[in-house]
Amino acid sequence: MRILSIQSSVAYGHVGNSAATFPLQRLGHEVWPVNTVHFSNHTGYGAWRGEVMAPEVVGDVIRGIDERGALGDVDAVLTGYQGSPGVAEVVLDTVERVRELNAAALYCCDPVLGDVGRGMFVLPGIPELMRDRVVPVADVVTPNAYELAFLAADPEFTAGGREARMPATLDEVLAAVEVVRGSGPSTVLVTSVEQGATDDEIAMLAVDSTGAYRVRTPRLPLSVNGAGDVTAALFLAHLSAGIDTALARVASSVFAILTATHRAGAREIRLVHAQSAIADPLGEFPVERLA
């Protein structure tokens, strides 16, 4: 595939395009990274240097690609952290343009908004813009469980200043997925799912028109940045093999990356060190069909 990836970027470490580009290339895909920010390091350190790209700059880079006659060759658009309403508008315009040139092109949206224990960490207005305008035009979305709860919530409820209630059961997670699928995307991958898993497990769910599938992996005692960016990229990369196969391969590769990170006691994910598990995932975790 030829993938246009519109995300953040860092010089040191692996988040955004700095997490997604290498795994996609290692699997043989052509990647055209367009950076929405370029920082020295990710913001989890509490301090960083660099620049947030103005929406006009992001749009200008994409226009330059279009002027080379290359946007019609794009097989998939991948987006992660979008940063500002202006960048979201650029993303929407770009997806529309790519689809004009290639109706078969996919849009995979990782709706980076927040997480359990951290709440929303994007600018005010971005969550609603993502839910109401960006996610509905995507073919594939890859929220974590917290983001899923927001995307599936009643807009009138969340507009009242209260956070969406987290699903309490696996059935409620699946019901929330169907709400999101009903808004537009045909395929949903949910990460960091605890419902239906034991205390020492974590799960991912994937749902499309063929059914709902779950994979469970051991829970590792670490908290890192960038794992979600890798997950979305790998899921997109493997999706043509079928949603259940994609889920198995993603779980295997991401678990290997996180295991290498944990063993090294590293702050940044060990992406390069675990590249063999990206290129040739073992598929050691069984995928269950739920529905």
- pLDDT tens column, 57-92: 999 999 999 999 999 999 999 999 888 899 999 999
The token duo for 133 is: 């305008």
Residue 261 confidence (pLDDT): 97
For residues 107-119, give the mean pLDDT.
Answer: 89
Residue 161 confidence (pLDDT): 60
Residue pair 202/192 in contact by the 8 Å Cβ criterion: yes
Residue 235 confidence (pLDDT): 98
Residue 160 confidence (pLDDT): 59
Which residue ranges make up each domain of the chain? 2-289
For residues 266-281, give the mean pLDDT.
Answer: 96
Residue 157 has pLDDT above 70, yes or no: no
pLDDT band at 291 (very low <50, low <70, confident <90, very high): confident
Q: Which of 139-143, 151-155, 279-283 has the lowest mean pLDDT?
A: 151-155
Instruction: Provide the CB-side half-sphere exposure for 199 (13 A, CA).
Output: 0
Fold (CATH) for 2-289: UDP-N-acetylmuramoyl-L-alanine:D-glutamate ligase (3.40.1190)
pLDDT band at 162 (very low <50, low <70, confident <90, very high): low
By C-alpha distance, which of 253, 252, 218, 269 is closest to 19? Answer: 269
DSSP, collapsed to helix, strand or coil, labels residue 109 as: strand
Q: The pTM is what?
A: 0.95
Rounded CA Rg of the chain: 18
pLDDT digits (tens, 9 = 90+) for 177-187: 999 999 999 99
